[in-house]
Amino acid sequence: MDYTQYLGVKGSTQHYQLPVAKLVEIALANNEGELSDRGSLAVNTGKYTGRSPNDRFIVDVPLVHDNIDWGKVNMPTTPEVFDRVFNKIKAYLDNKELFIFDGYAGADLRYAMPVRFVNELASQNLFVHQLFIRPTAEQLKTFKPEFTVICAPGLKLDPKTDGVNSEAAVILNFEKKMILIAATHYSGEMKKAVFSAMNYLMPERDVLPMHCSANVGKDGQSALFFGLSGTGKTTLSADPERTLIGDDEHGWSNHGIYNFEGGCYAKAIRLSKEDEPEIWEAIKFGSLSENIVLNPDTREPDFDDKSLTENTRVGYPIYFIPNASLMGTATQPSTIIFLTADAFGVIPPVSKLTVEQAQYHFISGYTSKLAGTERGIVDPQATFSTCFGSPFMPRPSAVYAKILMERIQEHGVNVYLINTGWQGGPYGVGKRISIPHTRAMVTAALNGDLEKQDFTTHPIFNVLVPKNCPGVPSEVLDPRTSWGDKNAYDEKAIQLAAMFIENFKKFSNVDHLVQVGPKIPAGQATA
């Protein structure tokens, strides 16, 4: 097949489905990175060390116009702008070395989307080779892409003439089934652009697309972990006692759950072998390390060094995790955990939600954007991200919330809210809840131990807080006790409750859920 002709690019050299070793060899020869002492290809992505949300667009055409939740997240652009950028990318790629990878988004072939990636960089082609599902030789014989992603990080656009916001752009075109990426070396843009495409398409196929990780226990019971980047989806789902289905993006169909990907993209800042042994061992030859600083003499990675970014990352195929599922599918979930990294330090470390509260918190999607996950984020910022993933959800949130609640009720799923953020004070004063304590809470939620405990209702957040949890000191479970100044805790909790209440006002047809959300005690004022 002539991939140059497919792109309309003449004179370029095309490499199709290169093996990992060859991609690494070419990347090193082209000075795209260096090998760490552990064999991982370490690259520096320059000034784009996270997603660039202000540069992401969806082409506004009649096919999708009435189905998109247009706004600051889903910014519209015109077919003319798309064509202009596409032609500019084609001209730029003329006579260049190109790397093509064909793979699937979706482990369940009943719903899988075939995607073709065309990359300027061998290192980024290594990334998609490891992050998406690799077809068999037989599948490649009849492979026809449903979407095509073209990534030209070396091309800088001109906002004045190209109709974009900066030198960079990520443009999704559902009519032409193409994604264009320019000027950014951050590989996560490809992953999240494909995820956004899946999130638009899957509800039409009766599949709920989810920004969550998933694993399954020895008893066959699966679990979902919802949360934005940095809240612990990857860390908590990589459990030596459970089989990992995937760490970030899944679909929930009438047949069960399935991974959209074939790999993991884990945050590596402050990574330790003691707290995250599975991820630690996955950083080896075949993985791609982004912005992890290496010792110049030993090439040993310094996982505590955040001089390039807090958003250090490593991408690797899922089979680098010893107990990962190679099938990428599991049964209907029995437990759902909503993860929030509360920068206020007032949300209980673990709480049980009723069905109505699950709907309230899914629609609210409270968490903190952590440093580096987006350009310009230096300190954690409190935010509400509907469906725990609004940056990647093109349709109105009600579409996803309705399917989720129907599935929770149909399968009798238990839902918990777990805070992986701060305690003892807000960010800058308190400290993050320890990973061992969080793991113990997760284990108790999954094995049913929490169901056996006595609960109290939090006076402000209105959730059920367990009095005890195996492996966790009882004083940790009550966030107020960890604050030296109890009045300061009350003031900060009321402040956050007011933010919940104000945020929920923007949603229609959900007035009946207001009563199950946070409450401001009578006579108390907000700060």
The total of other beta-carbon atoms located within 10 Å of residue 292's CB is 23
**% residues pLDDT > 70 (the chain):** 96
* Closest among 231, 230, 271, 234 to 249, alpha carbons compared: 234
User: Is 234 known to be catalytic?
Assistant: yes
437 catalytic? Reply is: no
Say if residues 214 and 249 touch (Cβ distance below 8 Å): no
pLDDT attached to residue 451: 93
The one catalytic residue in 211, 439, 492, 519 is 211
Residues of the chain with CATH 3.40.449.10: 3-32+50-205
Please name every residue paired with 323 in a beta bridge, in sequence order, or none if there are none: none
pLDDT at res. 220: 93
Tokens 């969080």, located at residue = 438
Q: Residue 8 — pLDDT band, cuts 50, 70, 90?
A: confident
- Give the C-alpha separation, 173 to 521, whole Å: 48
- For residue 100, the Cα-to-chain-centroid distance in whole angstroms is 24
Lowest average pLDDT, out of 40-54, 66-80, 108-122, 502-516, goes to 502-516
- Residue 374: pLDDT band (50, 70, 90) is low
What pLDDT, in 10s, does the model give residues 80-137? 999 999 999 999 999 999 999 999 999 999 999 999 999 999 999 999 999 999 999 9
What pLDDT is recorded for position 401?
A: 86
Tell me whether residue 239 is one of the annotated catalytic residues. Answer: no
| Block residue for tokens 């960890």 | 482
Burial class (CB in 10 A: 0-12, 13-18, 19+), 498: middle
Residue 381, pLDDT > 80, answer: no
Task: Give the active site residue among 51, 191, 242, 492.
Answer: 51
88 is catalytic: no
pLDDT, position 312: 96
Strand partners, 487: none
Considering 196, 213, 222, 229, which one is annotated as catalytic? 229
pLDDT score of 523 more than 90? no
**Of the listed 234, 309, 334, 367, which one is catalytic?**
234
Q: Where in the chain is the domain with CATH 2.170.8.10?
A: 264-320
Contact 521, 460 (CB under 8 A): yes
Q: What is the pLDDT of residue 315?
A: 98
Query: Which residue in the list 185, 191, 313, 519 is annotated as catalytic?
Result: 313
Q: Which CATH class is domain 264-320?
A: mainly beta
Residue 12: pLDDT band with limits 50, 70, 90: confident
Residue 369 pLDDT greater than 80, yes or no: no
Summarize pLDDT for 306-364 with one digit per residue, the tens: 999 999 999 999 999 999 999 999 999 999 999 999 999 999 999 999 999 999 999 99
Q: Position 128: which residue type?
A: V
Residues in the chain, how many? 527
Q: How confident is the model at residue 382 (pLDDT cuts 50, 70, 90)?
A: confident
Mean pLDDT is lowest, of 35-44, 285-294, 413-422, 501-510, for 501-510
pLDDT single digits (tens) 436-495 = 999 999 999 999 999 999 999 999 999 999 999 999 999 999 999 999 999 999 999 999
Q: How confident is the model at residue 159 (pLDDT cuts 50, 70, 90)?
A: very high
State the catalytic residue, choosing from 60, 248, 342, 490: 248
**Where are the CATH 3.90.228.20 domain residues in the chain?**
208-263+327-516
Among 116, 233, 395, 519, the one annotated catalytic:
233
> What predicted TM-score, i.e. pTM, was given to this entire model?
0.90
Averaged confidence pLDDT in the chain: 93
What is the distance between the alpha carbons of residues 194 and 196, in angstroms, rounded to a whole number? 5
b/e 428-459 (16+ beta carbons within 10 angstroms → b): eebebbebebbbbbbbbbbeebbeebeeeebe
What's residue 506's pLDDT?
A: 87
Of the residues 88, 129, 191, 192, only one is catalytic, namely 192
211 given a catalytic annotation: yes
Q: Which CATH number describes the domain made up of 3-32+50-205? A: 3.40.449.10
pLDDT one-digit tens code per residue, 186-218 = 999 999 999 999 999 999 999 999 999 999 999
Report residue 144: phi and psi, to 5°: -130, 115
Mean pLDDT of 217-233: 91
The percent of residues above 90 in pLDDT, for the chain, comes to 85
Q: Which residues 6+ apart lie within 8 Å of 118 measured at CB?
A: 3, 7, 93, 98, 99, 100, 148, 149, 150, 151
Find out whether 366 and 340 touch, Cβ atoms under 8 Å: yes
Contact 445, 416 (CB under 8 A): yes
pLDDT, average across residues 139-146: 96
Which top CATH class is 208-263+327-516? alpha beta
d(CA 282, CA 205): 34
Per the annotation, the verdict on 10 as an active-site residue is no
27, β-bridge pairs: none
Dihedral through CA 484, CA 486, CA 487, CA 492, nearest 10? 90
Question: pLDDT band for position 379 (50/70/90)?
Answer: low
Residues 6+ apart with CB under 8 A from 525: 494
